[in-house]
Structure 1
Amino acid sequence: MQAGNFMRALFAACLVPVLATGCMPRPAVSSPVPGRASLGVTSTTPHVTSTGIVTDFADVVQRDGPAVGNIRAVQGTPVANMTPLWPPAANEHDPFIQFFRQFSPGQSSQSLLPLGTLGSGFIISPDGYILTDARVVAGATQFRVKLADRREFKASVVGVDVPGNIALLKIDAHGLPTVKVGAPSDVKVGQWVVSIGAPYGFENTVTAGIVSSKARLVPDETYIPLIQTDLTLNAGDSGGPLFDLNGDVVGVDAPVHRTFQGLSFAIPIDVAMRIEHQLKAYGKVEHGRLGVTIQEVSAPLARSFGMTQPVGALISSTDRNGPSPKAGLRAGDVILKLDGQKITDSTQLPVAVAELRPGSAVRVEFWRDHRAHQISVVLGAMQNESLASDASGITSQTTVRQYGLTVRALTSEERQKLGVASGVRVEQSPGPAALAGIRPGDIISRVDNTPVSNVTQLRHELHNAGGDVALRVRRDGQPIFVAINLG
């Protein structure tokens, strides 16, 4: 028993320091949990955890949120006397109706329901100029802007640029908070960005994400290479500002076709502000136009054209009545410079051309037949239209085994339906053709820069081609170039 008591006393003596240590005050450690902060500390920058993850965008929202407005565009005559489906019509004093009234919207059956669109915008000058998306105001007759401080203003349209997808509004107010315009060129892929908008009319809604791409061309949407993000944007967010973590606006949120559902895009703010300056000065914007459809120059295409580097903008089609074919440009040419400005990436060309005025004579350097050429082109005026293009067609069927292509001639009905004069239709495309992206149903109209009018000519041109060959293909009504590498 004495031995047992001795052991218990020894255990208790050892336990005291442990418990004492557990009760000692510990130094405060900042929590990496989003939304938590130490009391008495005011953050001046977004909170960053030890792993580098940003967890707090409150400062950006607090500083820049007051300059963001909710835009309501009314497009027609208000619809009056809308009768709610619930509760059912009955005596107003019926206890049953009074009970269920609390669960129904507080909308009077005699109120007006305006038809229109919702959007967002942001104040760029203290005297009431607001930048937004052109589609927010398209076709509308009246506009109301609600600011973060709950004030509402009637807005007028200063100007709309449909190709650039930018609109400039004006409200009668002074001393307003404004955003700070940033530089999209400083934006890095993978960095955090924040948007403030009004999805479905829920104003001052904040969402955050990262930049996925800095220059994404979206077909049939705009000539401007867009900033792509993984933000969640909905109806009502269009026209809102895209902020970096310094609180500078780097883009204007813009909707795109539902085909790209799940992706978000923004017009770079530097391009938007250049459009804004013209809208403010002239009420409209005039864009130059070459009249060409372009695509990226891939490494295999560059080799097939005899180029040392995959640079420039490849012309995949031309508008037969446009400025380019009149000056001598044609499909298969690669534009390398515009008035001395190097075109290293195809996304640079549309913006460079659009910022010039119609009627301007520009010097174009282009690549054709394994060497550079120069030509002068007088720009036309950009219209809100799609570019037309040509193709070519024919008779009989053949297989080019080396390329894995089986092709046949087009029937007269197919030529008429497709609106082409010649070309051959791909029936099968295994082997190198499939790897290059050639699909059954494609219409091949050129091999390198040589037009193809029948299957015999196609075989001949492919037989004489080197290890890399560029095929001009018409797919879903649009012409593109596809490179096949036999290596």
Structure 2
Amino acid sequence: MSPRSPALARTVLMAAILAFAPFVAELSHAQAAAPSYNLPDFADLVEKTGPAVVNIRTTERVRSRGAPGADDDEMAEFFRRFFGVPMPGAPTPPGGQRRGQPQGEEQSRGVGSGFVISQDGYVMTNAHVVADADTIYVTLLDKREFKAKLIGSDKRTDVALLKIDATGLPKLAMGDSDKVRAGEWVLAIGSPFGLDNSVTAGIVSAKGRDTGDYLPFIQTDVAVNPGNSGGPLINLRGEVIGINSQIYSRSGGYMGISFAIPIDEAMRVTEQLKANGKVTRGRIAVAIGDVTKEVADSLGLGRARGALVGSVEPGGPAEKAGIEAGDIILKFNGRDIEKASDLPRMVGDIKPGTRVPLQLWRKGATREVSITVAELDADAKIKTRGGNSPRDDSSAPTAKPNALGLIVNEIPDAKLKELKIKSGVEVDQVDGPAQRAGIRPGDIILRLGDSDVTSPRQFNELVKGLDKGRIAAVFVRRGDATQVLTLRPGTMSSR
């Protein structure tokens, strides 16, 4: 075969180029249209916000301790002169004063961070940064130092408000923590280990992390260490979205998980601190727990939501409103409750004395009630009785466990009155499904599904009528707390 001519080869090559030209053009267009992502440059942001971030130093007065020896006096003088602090563990002489260090001299307690929220000198920080301090010093980026006045602090949210005597200060703008999204860039400015105005950056890892009744934290991977507490968490618009407050750590240092108080929560607290020097919260006097999927299914709720009432404080707002242990609170003041931790925050935001609507789930149906919110006492605790002890009752109606594995007894009228319940049965023996669910002798069975329990005979009849293919909800009272346990009926053999 004779070789192809150069003219034929050029023709074939040109045809191939023309054939692929549309695909090349389309690829080039797609690459041009694809968005490009660049890492943010925080330099301008830090330059803008840094001057409003402050260092907070706290001190305490030296207390008397005891009598030293001559060597101790020399060592104490060494620490005082070269380090400016008292010798660790140094005692004091009988007169109550160290040689070389007058009684009542200031001693450093700790270092933290804060930020200016108004040009006239209001500074926000963490409550634990200034707790038990005798004197609080605030140092600005330009090295000016002020003695600060503590306007007020709130331990529940770990927020404190300070005031320094200054005007025309640089301040930070407040953002909207409700609009924070997981994955967005944020930075922290503070004084980790006393290193003033240190900047670290990262992203928001999650929102609404529950670590306390009033703290739905923002979780980040921003490096936060001791000394960062009280400093701002800032978004790319230069707005404060949180106060750096806690870290998860096994070593005491940063391990990749840090938590910030949402600025919306913090501002609500500081407004009350500024106006009254303290925070007033509402309460309805109930103990609550989460609603599991099993409990929701067994009670016909559809999906897991709301707050399960475990106990109701006698004489409290909830009891007066007719709320009972075992109820599930679905709405408070028109707002849905998705998880139990939502309720304390909603109630806490209501001014004491306000009457609000509440929706609850009881026996397969919703009920609407009104409740007057009381004031929360920070030191108030619900009193609980000890667990009920089992009793020996030879008149038990049956010696054979029912399909739930329970043998129950009648409750005398005097005990019903003592427990402040209308009816129920007391567990005498436990086996099978009930034992696996955690029911104990001495527990009180109040309800089975949507039916109140009135006697051992009636309870056993209710158990007989249970569908063995479905989970049953048992309302169990132990001490003052009521919980809902889910059981699947089984076949019990006679003993």
TM-score range, shorter chain: 0.5 to 0.7
Q: Which runs of 5+ in 2 are unaligned?
A: 1-34, 87-99, 394-398, 410-418, 491-495
Q: CA separation in 1, counterparts of 2:361 and 2:51?
A: 51
Deviations 1:433-462 (Å, cap 9, x if unpaired)?
86xxx5698996555577889999987766
Contact 1:232 1:264 in 2 (8 A): yes
Alignment partner, residue 469 of structure 1: 472
Q: CA separation in 2, counterparts of 1:279 and 1:223?
A: 16
Q: 1:174 to 1:388 in 2, by over 3 A?
A: same
Contact 1:194 1:209 in 2 (8 A): yes
2:160 aligns to what SS in structure 1? Answer: strand
Alignment partner, residue 52 of structure 2: 67
Of the candidates 187, 192, 202, which is equivalent to residue 195 of structure 2?
202
Of the candidates 113, 117, 134, which is equivalent to residue 120 of structure 1?
113
The aligned runs of 1:117-196 (5 Å cut-off) are 117-196=110-189
Shift of 1:129: 0.6
Contact 1:332 1:449 in 2 (8 A): no
Contact 2:406 2:427 in 1 (8 A): no
1:158 aligns to what SS in structure 2? Answer: strand
Q: 1:56 to 1:457 in 2, by over 3 A?
A: farther
Q: 1:133 to 1:372 in 2, by over 3 A?
A: same
AA partner of residue 378 (structure 1):
T
Q: CA separation in 2, counterparts of 1:130 and 1:433?
A: 56
Shift of 1:258: 8.3
AA partner of residue 243 (structure 2):
V
1:242 aligns to what SS in structure 2? Answer: strand
Contact 1:445 1:453 in 2 (8 A): no
1:279 aligns to what SS in structure 2? Answer: helix
Shift of 1:236: 2.6
Shift of 1:145: 0.9
Q: CA separation in 2, counterparts of 1:451 and 1:389?
A: 23
Of the candidates 325, 332, 336, which is equivalent to residue 338 of structure 1?
332
1:353 aligns to what SS in structure 2? Answer: helix
AA partner of residue 156 (structure 2):
P
Alignment partner, residue 218 of structure 2: 227
Q: CA RMSD in A?
A: 4.7
Q: 1:366 to 1:424 in 2, by over 3 A?
A: same
Q: CA separation in 1, counterparts of 2:465 and 2:61?
A: 63
Contact 1:428 1:440 in 2 (8 A): no
Deviations 1:18-73 (Å, cap 9, x if unpaired)?
xxxxxxxxxxxxxxxxxxxxxxxxxxxxxxxx996847544433322221112223
Shift of 1:156: 0.6
Contact 1:290 1:379 in 2 (8 A): yes
Q: CA separation in 2, counterparts of 1:135 and 1:357?
A: 26
Shift of 1:193: 2.9
Higher CA-based Rg: 2
Contact 1:145 1:154 in 2 (8 A): yes
Normalised to the residue count of structure 1, the TM-score between the two structures is 0.68
Alignment partner, residue 91 of structure 2: none
Contact 2:327 2:362 in 1 (8 A): yes
Q: Which runs of 5+ in 1 are unaligned?
A: 1-49, 410-418
Shift of 1:371: 0.7
Alignment partner, residue 4 of structure 2: none
Aligned residues between the structures: 411
Shift of 1:324: 0.9
Q: CA separation in 2, counterparts of 1:366 and 1:207?
A: 46
1:208 aligns to what SS in structure 2? Answer: strand
Contact 1:315 1:333 in 2 (8 A): yes
Query: Does structure 1 residue 276 correspond to structure 2 residue 270?
Result: yes
Deviations 1:72-107 (Å, cap 9, x if unpaired)?
2334437899x9xx9x969x9xxxx9xxx9xx9755
Q: 1:72 to 1:58 in 2, by over 3 A?
A: same
Q: 1:203 to 1:470 in 2, by over 3 A?
A: farther
Give the stretch that moved more between structures: 126-135 or 225-234. 225-234
Q: CA separation in 1, counterparts of 2:489 and 2:357?
A: 36
AA partner of residue 291 (structure 2):
V
Shift of 1:260: 12
Normalised to the residue count of structure 2, the TM-score between the two structures is 0.67
Of the candidates 235, 238, 245, which is equivalent to residue 254 of structure 1?
245
Percent of residue pairs bearing the same amino acid type: 35
2:228 aligns to what SS in structure 1? Answer: coil
